[in-house]
Chain A
Amino acid sequence: MEYKALQDPSDRIEVKNTTCYMCACRCGIRVTLKNGEVRYIQGNPDHPLNQGVICAKGSSGIMKQYSPARLTKPLLRKQGTERGDAQFEAISWDQAFGIMEERLGRIRAEDPKKFALFTGRDQMQALTGLFARQFGTPNYAAHGGFCSVNMAAGMVYTIGGSFWEFGGPDLDRAKLFVMIGTAEDHHSNPLKIALSKFKRNGGRFISVNPVRTGYSAIADEWVPIKPGTDGALLLAIIHELIAMGLYDREFLVNYTNAAELVNMDDASSEYGMFVRFEVPPEEGCFDAQNKLWWDRELDHPISTHTPGADPYLLGDFKLSDGTPVKPSFQLLKERVEEYTPEWAERITGIPAETIRRLAHEMGVTARDQKIELPIAWTDVWDNEHKTVTGNPVAFHAMRGLAAHSNGFHTIRALSILMSILGTIDRPGGFRHKAPFPRPIPPCAKTPKGPEGVQPNTVLGGMPLGWPADPDDLFVDEAGEPVRIDKAFSWEYPLSVHGLMHNVITNAWRGDPYPIDTLLIFMANMAWNSSMHTDDVRRMLNDKNENGDYKIPFIIVADAFQSEMTAFADLVLPDTTYLERYDVMSILDRPISEFDGPVDSVRIPVVPPLGECKPFQEVLIEMGSRLKLPAFVDKDGKRKYRDYPDFIVNYETEPGSGIGFLSGWRGTAGEKFMRGEPNPRQWEMYAKNDCVYHHELPKSYQYMRNWNQGYLEWARNVRLTRYAEPINIHIYSEVLQKFRLAAQGKSIGKQPPARLKKRIEKFCDPLPFYYEPLEAQLSDLQKYPLNAVTQRPMAMYHSWDSQNAWLRQIHAHNYLMVNPVVGKANGFEDGDWVWVESQWGKVRCMARFTEAVEPGTVWTWNAIGKASGAWGLTPDANESKKGFLLNHVISEELPPHADGEHISNSDPLTGQAAWYDVRVKVYKAADDEPQETSPQYKPMPKFPGMGVAKTIQAFFAGKGEWK
Chain B
Amino acid sequence: MTQLALVIDLNVCVGCHACVTNCKEWNTSGIAGPLVDMNPYGADPTGTFFNRVQTYEAGEFPKTETLHFPKSCLHCEEPPCVPVCPTGASFKRAEDGIVLVDYDKCIGCKYCSWACPYGVREFDEQQKVMKKCTLCVDRIYDASLPEKERKPACVLACPTSARLFGDVHDPESEVSVAIRERGGYQLMPEWGSKPSNHYLPRRKTNIRIHEDELVRADNPLVKEGHLPKPALDEPSFDDVMF
Residues of A bordering B, CB below 8 Å? 1, 3-7, 34, 39-43, 45, 50, 52-60, 62, 68-69, 176, 188-189, 192-193, 195-196, 199-200, 202-205, 212-218, 220-222, 224, 244-249, 296, 310, 312-315, 357, 360-361, 364-365, 368, 793-794, 802, 804-809, 811, 818, 820, 849-854, 871-873, 875-877, 880, 948-957
Most buried by A among B25, B28, B44, B68: B25
Task: Given A53-B156, A56-B16, A955-B34, check contact A850 B206 (CB 8 Å).
Answer: no
- Complex formed: what's the CA distance from A224 to B65 in Å? 12
Residue among A54, A69, A807, A818 making CB contact with B157, cutoff 8 Å: A54
Asked if residues B100 and A43 are in contact (CB atoms below 8 Å), the reply is: no
Most buried by B among A1, A50, A357, A368: A1
Q: What does the 1/0 interface line of B30-50 toward A look like (CB < 8 Å)? A: 110111111111111111010
Asked if residues A1 and B157 are in contact (CB atoms below 8 Å), the reply is: no
- Complex formed: what's the CA distance from A215 to B12 in Å? 9
Task: Indicate whether B237 reaches chain A with its CB closer than 8 angstroms.
Answer: no
Asked if residues B221 and A245 are in contact (CB atoms below 8 Å), the reply is: yes
Asked if residues B45 and A42 are in contact (CB atoms below 8 Å), the reply is: no
Residue among A176, A804, A849, A954 making CB contact with B34, cutoff 8 Å: A954
Task: Given A59-B18, A59-B21, A873-B42, check contact A6 B31 (CB 8 Å).
Answer: yes
Residues in B whose Cβ lies below 8 Å from that of A875 = 42-43
Task: Indicate whether B240 reaches chain A with its CB closer than 8 angstroms.
Answer: no
CB distance from B97 to the nearest CB of A (A): 13
- Complex formed: what's the CA distance from A249 to B226 in Å? 14
Task: Indicate whether B4 reaches chain A with its CB closer than 8 angstroms.
Answer: no
CB distance from A350 to the nearest CB of B (A): 9
Contact residues of B between 1 and 32, Cβ < 8 Å to A: 9, 11-18, 20-22, 24-26, 28-31
Task: Indicate whether B87 reaches chain A with its CB closer than 8 angstroms.
Answer: no
- Complex formed: what's the CA distance from A310 to B62 in Å? 46
Asked if residues A176 and B12 are in contact (CB atoms below 8 Å), the reply is: no
Asked if residues B159 and A850 are in contact (CB atoms below 8 Å), the reply is: no
Asked if residues A202 and B41 are in contact (CB atoms below 8 Å), the reply is: no
Task: Indicate whether B148 reaches chain A with its CB closer than 8 angstroms.
Answer: yes
Residue pairs across A and B with CB atoms within 8 Å: the count is 275
Asked if residues A245 and B207 are in contact (CB atoms below 8 Å), the reply is: no
Asked if residues B29 and A34 are in contact (CB atoms below 8 Å), the reply is: yes
Asked if residues A68 and B41 are in contact (CB atoms below 8 Å), the reply is: yes
CB distance from B198 to the nearest CB of A (A): 17
Residues in B whose Cβ lies below 8 Å from that of A216 = 66
Residue among B16, B37, B42, B49 making CB contact with A872, cutoff 8 Å: B42
Asked if residues B47 and A245 are in contact (CB atoms below 8 Å), the reply is: no
Task: Indicate whether B229 reaches chain A with its CB closer than 8 angstroms.
Answer: no
Asked if residues A873 and B43 are in contact (CB atoms below 8 Å), the reply is: yes
Contact residues of B between 33 and 89, Cβ < 8 Å to A: 33-47, 49, 55, 57, 59-62, 64-68
Asked if residues A54 and B18 are in contact (CB atoms below 8 Å), the reply is: yes
- Complex formed: what's the CA distance from A244 to B213 in Å? 11
Q: List 6 A-B contacts (CB under 8 A).
A: A34-B29, A41-B25, A212-B65, A804-B45, A876-B42, A876-B43
Residues in A whose Cβ lies below 8 Å from that of B31 = 3-6
Residues in A whose Cβ lies below 8 Å from that of B14 = 192, 195, 214-215, 217-218, 793
- Complex formed: what's the CA distance from A793 to B18 in Å? 9
Q: What does the 1/0 interface line of B157-174 toward A look like (CB < 8 Å)? A: 111111000000000000
Q: List 15 additional contacts besides A199-B11, A310-B223, A802-B41; criterion CB under 8 Å.
A: A1-B103, A5-B31, A5-B141, A55-B17, A55-B18, A60-B21, A188-B159, A196-B162, A214-B16, A216-B66, A220-B206, A244-B219, A245-B221, A315-B225, A953-B34
Residues in A whose Cβ lies below 8 Å from that of B24 = 59-60, 805
- Complex formed: what's the CA distance from A361 to B29 in Å? 51
A-B pairs with lowest CB-CB distance, top 10: A249-B220, A804-B40, A196-B160, A192-B159, A953-B34, A245-B221, A56-B17, A948-B41, A245-B219, A196-B12
Task: Indicate whether B134 reaches chain A with its CB closer than 8 angstroms.
Answer: yes
Residues in B whose Cβ lies below 8 Å from that of A224 = 61-62
Residues in B whose Cβ lies below 8 Å from that of A248 = 220
Asked if residues B61 and A214 are in contact (CB atoms below 8 Å), the reply is: no
- Complex formed: what's the CA distance from A22 to B223 in Å? 53
Task: Given A5-B142, A953-B37, check contact A196 B157 (CB 8 Å).
Answer: no
Residues in B whose Cβ lies below 8 Å from that of A213 = 15, 55, 66
Closest-by-CB residue of A relative to B36 is: A953
Residues in A whose Cβ lies below 8 Å from that of B29 = 34, 39-40, 954-957
Asked if residues A176 and B224 are in contact (CB atoms below 8 Å), the reply is: no
- Complex formed: what's the CA distance from A246 to B216 in Å? 10
Residue among B49, B139, B159, B224 making CB contact with A53, cutoff 8 Å: B159
Task: Given A59-B21, A805-B47, A950-B38, check contact A793 B16 (CB 8 Å).
Answer: yes
Residues in B whose Cβ lies below 8 Å from that of A42 = 22, 153, 156-157
Number of B interface residues in the complex (CB < 8 A): 85
Asked if residues A794 and B25 are in contact (CB atoms below 8 Å), the reply is: no
Asked if residues B205 and A851 are in contact (CB atoms below 8 Å), the reply is: no
Q: What does the 1/0 interface line of B184-219 toward A look like (CB < 8 Å)? A: 000000000000000000101111010001100001
Task: Given A195-B160, A245-B221, A954-B28, check contact A1 B44 (CB 8 Å).
Answer: no
Asked if residues B17 and A793 are in contact (CB atoms below 8 Å), the reply is: yes
- Complex formed: what's the CA distance from A678 to B180 in Å? 55
CB distance from A57 to the nearest CB of B (A): 8
Residues in B whose Cβ lies below 8 Å from that of A222 = 62, 64
Residues in A whose Cβ lies below 8 Å from that of B225 = 315
Residues in B whose Cβ lies below 8 Å from that of A60 = 21, 24-25
CB distance from A36 to the nearest CB of B (A): 13
CB distance from B183 to the nearest CB of A (A): 14
Closest-by-CB residue of A relative to B41 is: A948
Residue among A4, A809, A853 making CB contact with B17, cutoff 8 Å: A809
Closest-by-CB residue of B relative to A67 is: B41
Task: Indicate whether B238 reaches chain A with its CB closer than 8 angstroms.
Answer: no
Most buried by B among A34, A59, A68, A949: A59
Task: Given A43-B156, A314-B226, check contact A202 B61 (CB 8 Å).
Answer: no
Residues in B whose Cβ lies below 8 Å from that of A818 = 61
Residue among A45, A214, A296, A314 making CB contact with B149, cutoff 8 Å: A45
Task: Given A808-B37, A872-B42, check contact A217 B67 (CB 8 Å).
Answer: yes
CB distance from B40 to the nearest CB of A (A): 4
Asked if residues A876 and B41 are in contact (CB atoms below 8 Å), the reply is: yes
Asked if residues B37 and A220 are in contact (CB atoms below 8 Å), the reply is: no
- Complex formed: what's the CA distance from A25 to B14 in Å? 17
Closest-by-CB residue of A relative to B124 is: A953
Asked if residues B162 and A360 are in contact (CB atoms below 8 Å), the reply is: no
Residues in A whose Cβ lies below 8 Å from that of B105 = 1
Asked if residues A953 and B35 are in contact (CB atoms below 8 Å), the reply is: yes
Residues in A whose Cβ lies below 8 Å from that of B202 = 218
Residues in B whose Cβ lies below 8 Å from that of A193 = 159-161
Residue among B41, B156, B161 making CB contact with A871, cutoff 8 Å: B41
Residues in B whose Cβ lies below 8 Å from that of A315 = 224-226
CB distance from B210 to the nearest CB of A (A): 9
- Complex formed: what's the CA distance from A196 to B162 in Å? 8
CB distance from B75 to the nearest CB of A (A): 14
CB distance from A240 to the nearest CB of B (A): 10
Most buried by B among A4, A247, A296: A4
Residues in B whose Cβ lies below 8 Å from that of A247 = 220
Task: Given A360-B209, A793-B16, A804-B37, check contact A6 B30 (CB 8 Å).
Answer: yes
- Complex formed: what's the CA distance from A849 to B65 in Å? 11
Asked if residues A854 and B11 are in contact (CB atoms below 8 Å), the reply is: no
Residue among A203, A214, A360 making CB contact with B15, cutoff 8 Å: A214
Most buried by B among A195, A244, A312, A951: A951
Asked if residues A40 and B26 are in contact (CB atoms below 8 Å), the reply is: yes
- Complex formed: what's the CA distance from A950 to B45 in Å? 9
Asked if residues A951 and B36 are in contact (CB atoms below 8 Å), the reply is: yes
Asked if residues A196 and B47 are in contact (CB atoms below 8 Å), the reply is: no
Asked if residues A56 and B20 are in contact (CB atoms below 8 Å), the reply is: yes
Task: Given A214-B14, A851-B66, check contact A873 B21 (CB 8 Å).
Answer: no
- Complex formed: what's the CA distance from A169 to B139 in Å? 35
- Complex formed: what's the CA distance from A192 to B162 in Å? 10
